[in-house]
């Protein structure tokens, strides 16, 4: 569902993403990890056609993102790192707008939009302007929006940020169910517990390069620290040795 080869993005002299190769299958949940500035969001922006790669290719649901951007975008849903919503629309108007953008039939939108608001416990605010929504409410509305058009591929950049524990649990269960139905899920996250419990495979980015990729069992073999949980593996792969010395600046 996602095929990435040699994907590279340079900003001036600096490479934000270097020669990324990766495939994500239908029904798979892939966790994309890495320290701040590692190149995760830049990768998502290239995969979703928001920025052009300097070189390399990305195909989503069989469509080349550069050559066939509309078809590729129709097949995917994006939850970006910041939940941007139009402040002067209401929740229901936003969902109708997103639905129409993706070509969902109007009767289908009328049926699904209230159900989705209900699922995310936003129904009482469906008629309120989005400028009055909290960060978490916006995040849930954006999630409701991507579920409306049933994409084959979901791109999620830190989807759990700002969600309360109950909503976080709901969203995890939704992702599991979507994967069971065949959706490919590509998710950037800093929450190692989510990566550990939810993701079939994880990839670890550092300075634009994916330095490890595989199931948790495979990463355990690659981790130099010999730790068993993902946090130890992550820290050993991303230079946890220097961590202790950081506190000297306090
Ligand atoms: N538009 C841009 N212009 C110049 N440099 C950029 C731009 N966007 C990103 N970068 C640089 O690319 C690198 C990767 O940034 P990116 O946002 O992809 O990191 P990230 O892995 O998503 O980090 P975080 O975990 O903080 O979200 C950073 O060094 C960043 O400064
Ligand atoms: Mg980011």
CA of 229 to the centre of ligand 1 (A): 27
CA separation for the pair 227, 214 (Å, rounded): 16
Q: Which of 66, 71, 1, 58 is nearest to 29 (CA)?
A: 1
The per-residue pLDDT for 226 is 57
Question: Ligand 1 pocket, 45 CB below 6 A?
Answer: no
Please identify, by atom number, the ligand 1 atom nearest to the C-alpha of residue 38.
21
Q: Do 67 and 132 fall within a single domain?
A: no
The pLDDT > 90 percentage for the chain reads 81
Q: Which of 168, 210, 200 is nearest to 26 (CA)?
A: 200
pLDDT in tens, 157-170: 999 999 999 999 99
Q: Do 171 and 92 fall within a single domain?
A: no
The per-residue pLDDT for 220 is 80
pLDDT in tens, 29-79: 999 999 999 999 999 999 999 999 999 999 999 999 999 999 999 999 999
The per-residue pLDDT for 15 is 96
The per-residue pLDDT for 240 is 67
Q: Which of 62, 33, 23, 68 is nearest to 49 (CA)?
A: 68
Last-in-domain residue among 125, 150, 175:
150
The domain containing residue 20 runs over which residues? 2-75+151-249
Over range 134-139, report the average pLDDT: 95
Q: Do 91 and 212 fall within a single domain?
A: no
Per DSSP bridges, beta strands 55-60 and 29-33 are unpaired
Q: Do 137 and 201 fall within a single domain?
A: no
* Residue with CA at minimum distance from ligand 1 atom 31: 37
Q: Do 156 and 240 fall within a single domain?
A: yes
In the DSSP assignment, the letter for residue 1 is -
The confidence band for 223, taking pLDDT boundaries of 50, 70 and 90, is low
Please give the helix or strand (H or E) that residue 246 lies within, else none.
helix 243-246
Over range 94-118, report the average pLDDT: 96
Q: Do 127 and 165 fall within a single domain?
A: no
Q: Is the pLDDT of residue 242 over 90?
A: no
pLDDT in tens, 139-150: 999 999 999 999
Question: Ligand 1 pocket, 40 CB below 6 A?
Answer: yes
- Integer-rounded Cα radius of gyration of the chain: 19
Q: Do 29 and 97 fall within a single domain?
A: no
- Does the predicted TM-score (pTM) go above 0.85? yes
Q: Do 39 and 111 fall within a single domain?
A: no
Task: Give the ligand at the shortest distance from the Cα of 205.
Answer: 1
Q: Do 123 and 180 fall within a single domain?
A: no
The per-residue pLDDT for 238 is 80
The pLDDT > 70 percentage for the chain reads 96
Please give the helix or strand (H or E) that residue 192 lies within, else none.
helix 192-198
């Amino acid at each position: 569902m996602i095929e990435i080869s040699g994907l590279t993005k340079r900003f001036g002299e600096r490479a934000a993403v270097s020669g990324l190769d990766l495939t994500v299958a239908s029904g798979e949940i892939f966790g994309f990890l890495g320290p701040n500035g590692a190149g995760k969001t830049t990768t998502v922006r290239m995969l979703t056609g928001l920025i052009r790669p300097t070189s390399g290719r990305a195909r989503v649901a069989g469509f080349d993102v550069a050559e066939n951007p509309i078809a590729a975008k129709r097949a995917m849903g994006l939850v970006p790192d910041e939940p941007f919503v139009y402040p002067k629309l209401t929740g229901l108007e936003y969902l109708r707008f997103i639905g129409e953008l993706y070509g969902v039939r109007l009767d289908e939108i009328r049926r699904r939009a209230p159900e989705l608001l209900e699922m995310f416990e936003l129904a009482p605010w469906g008629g309120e302007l989005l400028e009055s929504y909290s960060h978490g409410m916006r995040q849930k509305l954006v999630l409701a929006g991507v579920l409306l058009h049933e994409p084959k591929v979901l791109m999620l950049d830190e989807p759990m940020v700002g969600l309360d524990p109950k909503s976080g649990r709901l969203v995890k269960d939704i992702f599991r169910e979507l994967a069971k139905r065949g959706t490919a899920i590509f998710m950037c996250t800093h929450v190692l517990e989510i990566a550990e419990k939810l993701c079939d495979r994880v990839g670890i980015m550092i300075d634009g390069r994916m330095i490890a990729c595989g199931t948790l069992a495979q990463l355990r073999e690659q981790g130099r620290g010999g730790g068993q949980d993902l946090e130890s593996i992550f820290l050993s792969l991303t230079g946890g040795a220097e961590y202790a010395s950081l506190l000297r600046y306090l």
